[in-house]
Structure 1
Amino acid sequence: MIVFLFNYINKYYSGLDILSYLIFRAVNSLLTALFISLYMGQNLIIWLKKLRINQMVRDDGPKSHFNKHGTPTMGGLMIITAVIISVLMWSCLSNIYIWYLLIIFIGFGIIGFVDDYLKVIHGNSRGLLARWKYFWMSIISIIIVLLLYFAGKNTPLTQLVIPFFRYMPQLGILYVGLAYIVIVGTGNAVNLTDGLDGLVIVPTIFISAGFAIVSLLTSNAIFAHCLHLPYIENTNELVTFCTAIIGSSVGFLYFNIYPAKVFMGDVGSLAIGGALGTIAVLLRQELLLFIMGGIFVIEACSVILQVSSFKLLGYRVFLMTPIHHHYELKGWPEPLIILSFWIISLILFLLGIVTLKMR
């Protein structure tokens, strides 16, 4: 929105060129989202408490979680609001990728909102039935993926970037399946990880920062050629979306850090996961997301392994899943688990950045 205004002003006064520069807008996108989330935070918490929108604690979960009963949930609303306002203000709205991201981000957020709302209304931790959650996530994802496929068929947009290798195979129709799995899978993986105070939000900041860097490199023909990345036009605007996620996440962390004053809820975790998966698809960095988002992968795989082993062998590999609950039941203090996962996430983020050069 502001980009159009700056471009109009530049026709009459060229001294304000800096206002339309991408880096300037990216920094302002981050700061805008940060201030909005900080401003909303306390008021949102008070409002949620008045409406008694509290976290439903699993009966079969760690006993330490019973102390969290009554803590407001759906705090992800501040993240969604901050990101949307910031992106609409500082992104170039003629860029179709921004609109694809907003559709996934808002669509997944609505699904998460319904899930959280049903949990509060019925007073249990089940919420929206899994099959309906997957159904609506799939519908939204498939529409966006098909639009991307038909617009970028047999171009760099449908290539697969393999870390540590220069070979980038053309996926063809397989692109649709991979993109769908990444978007829906990331949404669910982030949702599964959101079980401890601040556990999800810090890895989200690292991954968003990594994708902001990749967006700048991929949209520059010279950098893309030097690093053996696919050159994809117009992906530079994804930087403003990434920085908006970073800013809103830092603001939310202020209220969500242990002991949390508010929980993210599915409304936030599904929206963030869907957005990160979509950014990875747009940048052709699905495998990089697999590396940098390794915490999310581990959490999701622990659930898959637990369910599979119990159904096939009648044996539970972990005391409880997702895996962070396993360590809670083993006696690890919650802050230690959170900090350990943050450190692992930082290491994976740095490893992901290194892969951009090692080819």
Structure 2
Amino acid sequence: MLYYLFDYLDREFDLIGAGVFQYISFRAGMAVLVSLLITITFGESLITMLRKKQVGETIRDLGLEGQMQKKGTPTMGGLIIIAAIVVPTLLFAKLENIYVILLLVTTLVLGAIGFLDDYIKVFKKNKEGLAGRFKVVGQVAVGLIVGATLFFSEDVVVREFSETPTEIQASGDTVINYEDVKSTTTTIPFVKNNELDYSKLNPTENDLITAAIYILIVIFFVTAISNGANITDGIDGLAAGTSAIIGLTLAILAYISGNAIFSEYLNVMFIPNSGELVIFCTAFVGACVGFLWYNSYPAQVFMGDTGSLSLGGIIAVLALVLRKELLIPVLCGIFVIENLSVILQVSYFKYTKKKYGEGRRIFKMSPLHHHYQKMEIPEPKIVTRFWIVGILLAIIALATLKLR
């Protein structure tokens, strides 16, 4: 909103300083600043309100050190994360941008699903919360909306450049011929000719079949990463800190993908208008970091499913929009391994119970962070080490821009 106001003031009144709102870097900086201020300033008020309403976390005794001390800690703190993402984005981003609209829809819809789950747990005193199938339906619905929009919308294009520039005779300058085209191509990490066209997975030439394949891929990533973030949110600061690292990496990738000069230099797919996502990404990072002010050990508030489901969904959609979803196993390695630890644990337990009559376990407990807790490693040390691994994975993800 402020972008449009200052754009008008700059054009109509030539207001000194108003033109700075044209720069993505300035608006991104303002977005992260406002996001941090919202979480830190209003976080205490939210915690106080949640305590008055007795919105406390119900803790199931798993025999983990310090676990029962967390009983009654306010949850639903994801509300402040969502506010700190949405408000700066509305203030500083171009709201007609299709990618910004998609991210806002993802944030609000998954946040609403998570809020309903937390509400049932807290106010209805149902420890199970929202039935898993309803969560999956909501995630699939978001994936369907995102996938259909990315496939069918005329505003979602990639820019293809001609190999032969055309010289302008009058000035001697050259211009590069290009065409913005609809495409289902994505980026394959660590590969030299690093583009994969999902339409090649369709043996026929039927566009509807291609659309169905692409939308199913989108649904898979949205559901998997949303659940991965939800599972990772098990100890103080882990999900928020990991998400901040991933969000910052995606902000860098968004800036490169939306900048013709940098994308050409690094031989990265140029996606028109994707640079506007830098504002959303920085608001996202500011919200996660600001939330750590109250969520770091010992946590004063938990984000609950309200926050974790939306964080994972946002990350998945950002990667899909930037055509970097195949980088998710690296960039979101923490979420992926947390997911896999649960799948492996459950599958192996069921297999051994059927074969030997007694269930056996791979880990002391799943998800993986609880395994380390069972090894009596202090919670802050586990979180810090996971953050370090997350930073290393982020560096590897950025290195794929040149390592092919």
**TM class, shorter-length:** over 0.9
Q: Which whole-Å CA distance do the structure 2 matches of 1:110 and 1:346 have between them?
A: 30
Give the residue type in structure 2 aligned to 1:205: A
Higher Cα Rg, which structure: 2
- The structural deviation recorded for 1:25 is 0.3
Distance in 1, matches of 2:381 and 2:401, equals 31
For residues 143-172 of structure 1, what are the alpha-carbon distances to aligned partners after superposition, in whole Å with 9 as ceiling and x for unaligned? 221121112589575212111113302112
State the 1:63 CA deviation: 4.9
Q: Which residue of 2 aligns with 1:81?
A: 83
Q: Is the 8 A contact 2:146 2:218 kept in 1?
A: no
CA contact (8 A) 2:143 2:215 kept: no
User: Contact conserved, 1:157 with 1:284, CA < 8 A, in 2?
Assistant: no
Rounded to whole Å, the distance in 1 between the matches of 2:188 and 2:218 is: 15
Note the residue ranges of structure 2 that are not aligned, 5 or more in a row.
Answer: 159-180, 200-209, 354-359
The ranges of structure 1 where at least 4 consecutive aligned residues each deviate by more than 6 angstroms after the TM superposition are none
Q: Which residue of 2 aligns with 1:118?
A: 120
Quote the RMSD (CA, aligned, Å): 1.6
The worse-fitting range, judged by mean Cα deviation, of 78-87 and 144-153 is 144-153
1:311 equivalent in structure 2? 350
Structure 1 distance, partners of 2:340, 2:296, is 25
Structure 1: distance between partners of 2:348 and 2:122: 32
The equivalent of 2:151 in structure 1 is: 149
Q: Which residue of 1 aligns with 2:368?
A: 323
More helix by share: 1
Secondary structure of 2:198 counterpart = coil
Q: Which stretch of structure 1 is more off in the superposition, 163-172 or 301-310? A: 163-172
Tell me the secondary structure at the aligned position of residue 169 of structure 1.
strand
- Equivalent pair of 1:56/1:124 in contact (CA under 8 Å): no
State the distance in 2 between where 1:54 and 1:63 align: 19
Deviation, 1:139, is 1.3
Question: Counterpart in 1 of 2:389?
Answer: 344
Tell me how far apart the structure 2 counterparts of residues 221 and 61 of structure 1 sit (CA, whole Å): 54
2:197 maps to 1:158: no
CA displacement 1:256-294 (0-9 Å, x = unmatched): 000001011000001111111100000011122321211
What is the alpha-carbon distance in structure 2 between the residues aligned to residue 217 and residue 153 of structure 1?
16
Structure 1 segments unaligned to the other structure (5+ residues)? none
- Establish whether residue 272 from structure 1 lines up as the match of residue 311 from structure 2: yes
CA distance in 1 between partners of 2:231 and 2:269 (Å): 32
CA distance in 2, matches of 1:329, 1:176: 40
Aligned partner of 1:72 in structure 2 is 74
Question: How many residue pairs were aligned?
Answer: 359
Query: 1:226 Cα shift?
Result: 2.6
Which residue in the other structure is 2:198 paired with? 171
By percentage of residues, which structure has more strand?
A: 2
Letter in structure 1 aligned against 2:378 = P
Report the equivalent of 1:237.
276
- Tell me, in whole angstroms, the C-alpha distance in 2 between the residues paired with 1:351 and 1:156: 29
Q: State, as a whole percentage, how many aligned pairs show the same letter.
A: 40
Instruction: Provide the rounded CA distance (Å) in 1 between the counterparts of 2:267 and 2:5.
Output: 36
